[in-house]
Structure 1
Amino acid sequence: MNCLIRSGILIAPALIALAVVGCAVGPDFSEPEAPKTNSYTPTAMPEETASTPSRAGAVQRFMTGGEIPAQWWTLFHSEPLDRLIRQALADSPTLAAAQAKLRQAQENLRAEVGVVSPSVDVKLSAERQRFSFAAIGQPQVPSTTFNLYNASVGVSYTFDAGSGWRRELEAMQALVDYQSFQLEGAHLALTANIVTAAILEASLRAQMQALQEIEALQQKELGITETQFKLGGAKRTDVLAQRAQLMQVRAILLPLEKELAQTRHQLAVLAGKLPSEASLPEFTLETLELPQQLPVSLPSALVRQRPDIRAAEALLHQASAQVGVATANLYPRITLSGSYGSLANSTADLFGSTTGIWSVGGSLLQPLFHGGELTARRRAAIAAYDQATAQYRDTVLHAFQNVADTLRALDVDARTLQAQTEADAVARDTLDLTHKEFSLGAANYLSLLNAQRQYQQARISLVQSQALRYADTAALFQALGGGWWNRPAPDNAQPDEPATEGRNGSPPSPLEGEGK
């Protein structure tokens, strides 16, 4: 049906209303297509990672197309971690703020639905007036004072030729979707941050334990060196060098101690507690289990799973609807109104047979000349849509990079741990052998100090490599969206409440696809 009404032609309101029924201007939004690719990385990933007979050295297998559980952190099999995350989900002010923002968007949508519906108002009024007959050309008649009572019902409705209001509702529904995905993003970020902080705490504790063992070993070496110095078998500089080595280890421990305390404070705040009041479990690498089955979503599914991509899509939808709103502002609007009531000089006569009043009216508003304002605003809306399109594409590109980086990191992490395990074993054997040779006088003190430094570096690097496999595993679950679409809908959801989650990553959108 042709919706174009040439400006300047006056058509009866009833005929225009019939001509524009069911017509909407502007683009009809459709979901952007997923990138046409079958892989995240330019070269094929191995089906499984390398293995190492050490802590965190298990084989991890990439399960292409596997389903990610909503509570993905439970795959680390840490009951304290699961308990802490549940507490955080209940008490986090960040989530509470995101939930309130979503409720605000939902209520604004409901309010806008009321605005575009026909309005019905009841009016009751009482006035006391003094009337001068001079106003009607009879100044000789004395003025009179009287009461005036009014009771009426008024109905008004505006027909929007271009369905601009419906596009406005579509834009507001898109904002509801945006806030729902912002909430999912906050949920994912919170759980991922807690898991990462717990892994960091476990790494710091393991590094501190390793340094404490090295400190005890070097304290023992210092005792041997001091004994040899007293017996003339070592020089004073050897004793000083060993003490300096011991002090360096203690100096390294202090920053780790500070970082551990700050990580604990961070965990408390993430859980919605004050650092001084939180009762947190202690996390070690031994209390975490490395997930061995890693579900990897198909590339075509990633755009429906990542909350940041879905949020960018919702903004794109909003921008599309705003183009329709700006276009609809170029077309006429027809307002029909009517009222019926009673007007009397006393309340006793207010509903009498002779006091009835009514009115019926209609108006047509057709923009003719606004100095180019309306067309400029439409061009601005189109530019905003182009911007949203580019931002959506940028979000998708970075999301795919995020997954590719994490997959490669997991592969390299496993091989790095394998190399670090071998390096640690070699450094330990070298230190034991050098220590024996030094005790027998077959090695100088410089060789012993060098062996100690290599062993210290190897131990710390080994612990860091172990923790990195845990951290990058958590990063993979986060990069793939965290499985929020597999979370069951709450039992107390209202039928008319915009959903914040759905199966297969597709929350329902009541206005999506409308406008034809």
Structure 2
Amino acid sequence: MMRRLLTLPLIGCLGACSLTPALQRPPAPVPASFPVASAVPASAPASAVPASALGWRAMFGDPRLQRLIDLALENNRDLRLATLNVQAARARSNIEGAASLPTVGLDATHSRERTLATDATSRELDRQTGVNVALSAFELDLFGRVRTLSEAAFARYLASEQGRDAAQIALVGAVADAYFTQRLADEQLRLSERTLTDWRQSLELARLLKQAEQNSSLDVAQAEGQVALAEADVEGRRRALAEADNALQLLVGSELPGDLPPAVSLERQPVIARLPAGLPADLLLTRPDLRQAEQMLVAANADVGAARAAFFPQISLTASFGYASASLGSLFDPAREVWRFAPQISQPLFQGGRLRAELRLAEVRKSEAVAQYERAIQVAFREVADALAGTATFDRQIEAQRRAVSATQRSLELSELRYRAGLDGRLDLLDAQRQLYASRQALLDLRRAEIANRVALYKALGGGLHADSDDAAAAPTESRG
């Protein structure tokens, strides 16, 4: 009896020990702060809350875009697959967790058998009824192998949840980018069509002047060439719009409905321009992809502990208790009790180096997880830094481009006056028209790039997970560790 009492604390101590190495998260391999960027003008719309707490409805005020994001979150196949992956990871975690609990089953049997008697002249009828409660091969997790496998599976489940959140953020940003690309293609097409209409009128005027012998065939040929270039550009813009429609429809996951709200022009898009960036360390708390990489590191570290525990003995218990009787009426008679207790210990002796190779593989996988974790931090830092650089420069660049459009507009007006006065040839007028058209298209491109930069900063700071800012504030904070 005394030996049993001494054995229990020993088993408890062994069960409390862990062969999993202490997890040392590497320091963030990035500077302590983002590069200093010039401030955006105070007139630009700003957010008073962090991007991760800013709902995408507040970030993107265009009702048409909001409806498209709603449809994408409901129908997008990639997001649906990410959600299914979370459910599968949760099921695997539950399976691994169940291994730490004993498996108990109830068996009931009844058999009838007719056999020949010993004298071979008569037959005997045997009956057997049994009820049995059995504990099947329950492993005593003295060295933490089962526990660490369960911890690894749970960490991968948490990583899949973060991966699903990261997929949603990416989807919201992708829908916004595709929508603004569509708006750019539509506005550039309409600008090209208006320009083509103006240049066709100029061609007709050139032909009339040629008939009146007030200009030469060279003027007509130059005008015809300019119209042909505009026609080619219109076809290219139509193709770009069709491709943008297809890309947006793919992200939405269904045919675009016909009752969408009216579109808002790029110039009037209510997209928040200024977002507080915080510090690089904040990204570890706000970006799901970084939390996903961190959980994968936790899982890889637990795998090392499981590989170490495989070197030690595995003790399993099999036991059963029940009743067996030839008569159902006397089945539960205490004299009919039967039991079986079969402990088993298994100690690896020689496996050709397989266990050492598995341990080495687990250690290499942990090193890979560390490298992936560090790389994810570096990528996140660069995405934020690039977006901040764009925030600091796009406003001034767009303002300069607007001045260029105004200057080319005045240049065209003066060129038309000089052409009508006979001071300049038609070639100078055509060149002024082309410059104005190119500068207007460039202004649209810049406006689209500026909005894309805002979307990129919003995603890089972890925004897009919640529809409304109130939902983000009410969401539970993820624990690290």
In the other structure, the counterpart of 2:324 is 343
Match of 2:71 in 1: 87
Shift of 1:252: 0.7
Cα drift, residue 83 of structure 1? 2.2
2:133 counterpart residue number: 153
CA contact (8 A) 2:14 2:143 kept: yes
Deviation at 1:357, TM superposition (A): 0.8
Q: Name which of 213, 217, 220 aligns with 1:239.
A: 220
Q: Which residue of 2 aligns with 1:40?
A: 34
Q: Structure 1, residues 261-280: CA drift from partner, whole Å, max 9, x if none?
A: 222233233222135x6654
1:285-296 map, 5 Å: 285-286=266-267, 288-296=269-277
Amino acid at match of 2:38: P
Cα distance in structure 2, aligned partners of 1:374 and 1:144: 55
Partner of 2:81: 97
Give the TM-score of the pair, scaled to structure 2: 0.89
Q: Which residue of 1 aligns with 2:55?
A: 71
SS of equivalent residue, structure 2 residue 318: strand
2:342 alignment partner, SS class: strand
Pairwise CA distance, 1:46: 0.9
CA distance in 2, matches of 1:440, 1:222: 18
Asked if residue 109 in structure 1 is aligned to residue 93 in structure 2, the reply is yes
Shift, 1:175, TM fit: 1.1
Seen in structure 2, the aligned counterparts of structure 1 residues 189 and 483 have a Cα distance that, compared at 3 Å, is closer
Distance in 2 (CA, whole Å) between partners of 1:90 and 1:368 is: 55
Whether the 8 Å contact between 1:85 and 1:271 is mirrored in structure 2 is: yes
Q: Which amino acid aligns with 2:65?
A: L
Q: Quick one: structure 1 residues 19 and 371, their matched pair in 2 at CA, closer, same or farther if it must change by over 3 Å?
A: farther
Change beyond 3 A, Cα 1:333–1:297: same
Aligned length: 472
RMSD of equivalent CA atoms: 2.9
Q: Please show how residues 36-435 of structure 1 align to structure 2 within 5 Å.
A: 37-41=31-35, 44-48=36-40, 59=44, 66-129=50-113, 145-156=125-136, 157-274=138-255, 279-281=259-261, 283=263, 284-286=265-267, 288-435=269-416
- Alpha-carbon deviation of 1:416? 2.0
Instruction: Please tell me whether the aligned partners of residues 17 and 159 of structure 1 are also in contact (alpha carbons under 8 angstroms).
Output: no
Distance 1:15 1:365, change over 3 A: farther
Q: Supply the distance in 1 between the matched residues of 2:141 and 2:470 (Cα, whole angstroms).
A: 40
Matched residue SS, 1:150: strand
TM-aligned CA distance change 1:204 to 1:119, over 3 Å: same
Normalised by the length of structure 1, the TM-score is 0.84
Distance 1:144 1:116 in 2: 47
Matching residue's letter, 1:23 = C
Q: Which runs of 5+ in 2 are unaligned?
A: 1-5
Give the Å deviation of 1:431.
0.8
CA distance in structure 2 between the partners assigned to 1:292 and 1:311 by the alignment: 28
For 1:438, the aligned partner's letter is Y
CA offsets per residue over residues 302-334 of structure 1, 9 Å max, x none? Answer: 122222222211211111111011011111222
| CA distance in 1 between partners of 2:60 and 2:303 (Å) | 45
Q: Structure 1 stretch 291-300 or stretch 98-107: which is displaced more?
A: 291-300
Once residues 47 and 61 of structure 1 are traced to their aligned partners in structure 2, the CA distance between those partners, rounded to angstroms, is: 12
1:26 equivalent to 2:20? Answer yes
Task: Indicate conservation of the 8 Å contact 1:337/1:362, yes or no.
Answer: yes
Q: Which amino acid aligns with 1:82?
A: Q
* 2:479 is the alignment partner of 1:502: no
SS in 1 for 2:333: coil
Q: 1:488 to 1:27 in 2, by over 3 A?
A: farther
* Alignment correspondent of 1:54: none
For residue 11 of structure 2, the aligned residue among 17, 22, 32 is 17
Contact kept, 8 Å, 2:63 with 2:261, in 1: the verdict is: no
The answer to whether 1:466 aligns with 2:447 is yes
Task: Determine helix, strand or coil for the equivalent of 1:317.
Answer: helix
Q: Distance in 1 between matches of 2:14 and 2:220?
A: 96
Aligned to 1:498: none
Specify the code of the residue in structure 2 equivalent to 1:268. Answer: Q
Q: 1:45 Cα shift?
A: 0.7
> In the alignment, is the contact (CA less than 8 A) between 1:151 and 1:342 conserved in 2?
yes
Q: Measured at CA, do residues 435 and 246 of structure 1 come closer, stay the same or move farther in structure 2, by a change above 3 Å?
A: same
Q: 1:305 touches 1:483 (CA, 8 Å); kept in 2?
A: no
| Counterpart AA for 1:28 | A
Distance 1:118-1:487 versus aligned 2 partners, 3 A rule? farther
Question: For residues 362 and 487 of structure 1, do their structure 2 counterparts lie closer, same or farther at Cα, with a shift above 3 Å needed?
Answer: farther
Structure 1 residues 125, 393: CA separation in 2 closer, same or farther (over 3 Å shift)? same
Residue in structure 1 matched with residue 424 of structure 2 by the alignment: 443
Q: Secondary structure at the match of 1:358?
A: strand
Deviates more, 1:310-319 or 1:218-227: 218-227
* Amino acid corresponding to residue 47 of structure 1 in structure 2: A
Q: Given residue 86 of structure 1, which amino acid in structure 2 is its aligned partner?
A: D
Distance 2:178 2:241 in 1: 10
Distance between the aligned counterparts of 1:337 and 1:473, measured in 2?
Answer: 63
Unpaired segments ≥5 residues, structure 1: 1-11, 52-57, 492-500
Identical amino acids, percent of aligned pairs: 25
